[in-house]
Amino acid sequence: MQMSPEGLDLLKRSEGFRGRAYLDVAGFATIGYGHRILPTESFPDGITEAQAEQILANDVQQSEQAVQRLVRVALTQGQFDALVDFCFNLGAGALAGSTLLKELNAGQYEAAREQLLRWDHIGSQENAGLKARREAEFQLWGTTAPTPQEATG
Q: Which pLDDT belongs to residue 130?
A: 94
Active-site residue list: 15
Q: What is the mean pLDDT of residues 18-22?
A: 97
The whole model's pTM is what? 0.91
SS3 107: coil
Q: Which pLDDT belongs to residue 149?
A: 55
Q: What is the mean pLDDT of the chain?
A: 93
Res. 151: pLDDT tops 80: no
- Start-to-end Cα distance in the chain: 8
Q: In terms of Cα–Cα distance, which of 136, 17, 153 is closest to 73?
A: 153
**Contact between residue 116 and residue 141 where contact means Cβ atoms under 8 Å apart:** yes
Mean pLDDT is lowest, of 37-41, 106-110, 121-125, for 121-125
The CATH architecture to which 5-13+49-152 belongs is: Orthogonal Bundle (1.10)
What is the rounded distance in angstroms from the CA atom of residue 116 to the CA atom of residue 121? 12
Q: Where are the domains of the chain?
A: 5-13+49-152
Q: Which pLDDT belongs to residue 123?
A: 85
Q: What is the mean pLDDT of residues 88-113?
A: 97
| Beta strand ranges found along 50-104 (DSSP E) | none
